[in-house]
Amino acid sequence: MPASILVRTRQILSNIWRRLKLIDWIGAVFAILKAAKKETLEVDEKYIVIKPRILSDENYLRGVSALKVALTFVPFPGAQIAGPVLALGEVGFKLWKRISLSRDYDQLVFPPVDPNMLRFFVQLDPELAKHYGDLTTIANWGNAAIQELEPIFNDLSFLTNFEMLRAKYPHFDHDYLKRRAAENLATLQTNLDAIEQALLQVSQSPETNANIRGAFESLKGLFPVMNDWALFNSEGFDEVISIIDTIL
């Protein structure tokens, strides 16, 4: 081996040793441990059935933090470049995640009914059991029974108009249908009351209050019809919308 290479190697090693001696090793170890410390989550482990992957972003970010701290203690060229790049990666990644995760995902307006709950419900409800209980027996239960019961159950869950329910189910007890329509109306209109309160909070005068209240009462009067038509007749829904347009 040429002597020049040996000299050069010795110089490099000597430089490295001199730089390593400059490092505050105790400080570095504590800083790295602090950066890599796992965040505590106060959830009983028995409830965690889906565990995070080793390469989950949280673990990655912990690794990035530890590496960033480690690099600040390393007095070599390249470390000074890698530090800001890592910082950008972490911040950029967090920012991206925040934007990405706050997106609105598609949700169904009407969550599907669970067939087992449907079966249980039909047996639980005396009026439904009287008319359709036979469909829920072991012998008859299956996809055909589900297909037959689902529209009936959904009508009784979402229709808010007694007349419409009576027209569709003349064989049901009228008081029962009235009660179902009233309950559905109360449930589905819950958010309308909240909207009304929010509107009134921002209004300025008693006169405006009265106007908002009056307009809202008219709209609320139409909403049972809107709910029913929105569910089962899109042309009817358009008709109601056009009526609202003329009122406003």
Partner 1 sequence: MRFLRGAAIALTLGLFACSTIAPTPILMGRVDKLNTEVHQRYLDCSEGANYVPDLEGCDPELLETKTIELMNLSVELIKADYKQPQGYDIHLAISMIYFRIGERNGNAYSRAEVIARQFFEIQKASSRGLALNTARYYLAHYTAARGSWQYYNAIHQLNALRKSEFLFAQTEGKIAVPHIEGPRLVRLKQAIQVLGALSGLIN
Query: Which CB atom, from 104 or from 207, has the smaller least distance to partner 1?
Result: 104
CB of 210 to partner 1, least distance (A): 26
The residues near 51 (Cβ < 8 Å, ≥ 6 apart) are: none
Backbone phi, psi, residue 8, to 5°: -60, -45
Query: Which CB atom, from 147 or from 205, has the smaller least distance to partner 1?
Result: 147
CB of 219 to partner 1, least distance (A): 16
CB of 246 to partner 1, least distance (A): 26
Query: Which CB atom, from 20 or from 85, has the smaller least distance to partner 1?
Result: 85
Cβ–Cβ < 8 Å for 165, 180? yes
Query: Which CB atom, from 186 or from 200, has the smaller least distance to partner 1?
Result: 186
Helix 57-72 × helix 25-36 angle, to 10°: 160
Closest CA to 231 of 110, 121, 113: 110
CB of 23 to partner 1, least distance (A): 21
Query: Which CB atom, from 3 or from 138, has the smaller least distance to partner 1?
Result: 138
Q: Is the dihedral of CA 106, 110, 112, 113 positive or negative?
A: positive
Query: Which CB atom, from 39 or from 207, has the smaller least distance to partner 1?
Result: 39
Structure tokens at 74: 């390393």
Closest CA to 127 of 182, 172, 178, 90: 172
Q: Which residues bind partner 1 (CB under 8 A)?
A: 41-44, 47-53, 55-58, 60, 77-78, 81-82, 85-86, 88-89, 93, 96-97, 100-101, 103, 105-117, 119-121, 124, 147, 150-151, 154, 157-158, 184, 187-188, 190-191, 194, 231-232
Distances (CA, A) of 48 to 42, 59, 67, 153: 11, 17, 29, 35
* E strand or H helix that includes residue 201: helix 190-202
CB of 239 to partner 1, least distance (A): 17
CB of 73 to partner 1, least distance (A): 17
Closest CA to 162 of 183, 146, 145: 183
